[in-house]
Amino acid sequence: MNRPAAGIAARLLVAMALVLLSAGLAAWLVAGAVGPGLFHRHMAQAESSPGTAVEHAETAFASASAVTLAVSLAAALVTALVVSIVLARRIGSSLRTLSSAAGNVAAGRLEVRLPQPHIGAEFDHLADAFNAMAARLRQDKALRRRLMADVAHELRTPVATISAYVDALEDGVETLGPQTVEVLRAQTSRLTRLATDLAAVTEAESGHLHLDLQRVAPAVLVGSAVEAVAPRAHDSGVTLGADVAPDVPTLLVDRDRLGQVLGNLLDNAIRHTPRSGSVRVTARRHGSGVRIEVDDTGEGIAPEHVPHVFERFYRVDTARDRVHGGSGIGLAIVKALVEAHGGTVSAHSAGPGQGSRFVVDLPG
């Protein structure tokens, strides 16, 4: 197990202790080497020169103390100078590296990374935090590029369709009959849904989402969500069911936002379940919280796609999903809203044709 690195404050204290130790060691060595000789010389002079033995002893002590003090101060000064130069170079080099890396990040070169300077735990933590920030910025930059490309791609089809019909109406090729109105209405609805979903997921992921928290029984949440999608399930020929355990605790949630989560999961399940299939919602106690599962007998998800289904605009089958009419953001909204409540959501599937299960865990 790695031992925690000492902080810069501890290293400075060690440096100060080293200076004091060098001074003390020098004083001890000098006192031991110089003192006895001086005392012996003055005692020998006391026999042949005027003055008492006490006076000669005092003179010897003063001389020995002066020499000892001078040498110990010189040793402390040299040690302090060496330690200061070493620390200044190490800290200065680390700060120059950090400044250079920050300049690279500011210039858009997000692949830059800082090595750990190993001059204190604070500097190592700073390097780790900087590297994590740069990696996150690089990931966000890639996601923004992909998002812009995906949004442009999603807008292209409905806009092109509407433009083509408008041109056809102007040229007299098409008439404004029920079928044309239905096509135009479907495309404008698609654009509206895309704009609404983008706004919702952006708000949820920004961390500034306001939640109107209140205690709600899971049975109420599940019942409202099932009732809302029941007509769509009936029209699609899908059997819809719900089962809420009697001992499930209440949840401190935003009722509308959790309704949106369950609505998106149910809508996704119904959309990908063929006629005569079934969709079922269950709620059970899970630890101190609640686990809500949405199971379907639909098309299922291949293992390589499961980790990506909550990403914006990720489509398991592009052509199929566009026929189904999804915006490609519904599951991203689910993930963002569940995490805003302090919960988690995961997707599971045995493979294509084996149905899917979405599991939402919420704290009690």
Does residue 195 lie within any of the structural domains? Answer: yes
109 SS3 class? coil
Instruction: Provide the pairing of β-strand 344-348 with 278-286.
Output: unpaired
Which residue from 261, 267, 251 is spatially nearest to 209, judged by alpha carbons?
261
Sole residue written with tokens 């939640």: 211
Q: Are residues 345 and 234 in the same domain?
A: yes
Q: Are residues 304 and 175 in the same domain?
A: no
Does residue 124 lie within any of the structural domains? Answer: no
Q: Are residues 223 and 286 in the same domain?
A: yes
Does residue 140 lie within any of the structural domains? Answer: no
Which residue from 76, 60, 68 is spatially nearest to 31, judged by alpha carbons?
68
**How many whole angstroms separate alpha carbon 241 and alpha carbon 232?**
13
Sole residue written with tokens 């001074």: 23
Boundary-marking domain end, from 157, 173, 205: 205
Which residue from 194, 235, 145, 184 is spatially nearest to 329, judged by alpha carbons?
194
Q: Are residues 167 and 279 in the same domain?
A: no
Q: Are residues 83 and 190 in the same domain?
A: no
Q: Which amino acid is at 291?
A: R
Q: How many CB atoms are located within 10 Å of the residue 136 CB?
A: 11
Q: Are residues 218 and 201 in the same domain?
A: no
Which domain CATH number covers 323?
Answer: 3.30.565.10
Q: Are residues 283 and 343 in the same domain?
A: yes
**How many whole angstroms separate alpha carbon 345 and alpha carbon 261?**
10
**How many distinct structural domains can be found in the chain?**
3
Taking each helix axis as running N to C, give the angle between helix 330-340 and helix 178-205, from 0 to 180 degrees, rounded to the nearest 10.
Answer: 30
Q: Are residues 171 and 251 in the same domain?
A: no
pLDDT at 318: 46
Q: Are residues 181 and 50 in the same domain?
A: no
Taking each helix axis as running N to C, give the angle between helix 53-106 and helix 121-171, from 0 to 180 degrees, rounded to the nearest 10.
Answer: 10
Does residue 323 lie within any of the structural domains? Answer: yes
Does residue 137 lie within any of the structural domains? Answer: no
Q: CA of 360: how far to CAs of 33, 144, 249, 326, in Å?
A: 79, 27, 15, 21
Does residue 90 lie within any of the structural domains? Answer: yes
Q: Are residues 235 and 358 in the same domain?
A: yes
**How many whole angstroms separate alpha carbon 15 and alpha carbon 286?**
54
Q: Are residues 185 and 255 in the same domain?
A: no
Does residue 132 lie within any of the structural domains? Answer: no
In terms of C-beta density within 10 A (0-12 exposed, 13-18 middle, 19 or more buried), how is residue 8 classed? middle
Does residue 67 lie within any of the structural domains? Answer: yes
Which residue from 298, 328, 295, 325 is spatially nearest to 310, judged by alpha carbons?
328
Q: Are residues 187 and 293 in the same domain?
A: no
pTM flag (> 0.85): no
Boundary-marking domain end, from 205, 233, 251: 205
Domain that holds residue 82: 8-109
Per-position pLDDT tens, the chain of length 364: 455 555 666 767 777 777 777 777 766 666 666 666 666 666 666 555 555 666 666 666 666 666 666 776 777 777 777 777 777 787 778 888 888 888 888 888 888 888 887 777 777 888 888 888 888 888 777 767 776 776 776 677 788 888 888 888 888 887 888 888 888 888 888 788 777 777 777 777 666 677 889 999 999 999 999 999 999 999 999 999 999 999 999 999 999 889 989 998 999 999 999 999 999 999 999 998 999 999 999 999 999 999 888 887 776 654 444 444 455 678 888 998 899 899 999 999 999 989 999 999 999 7
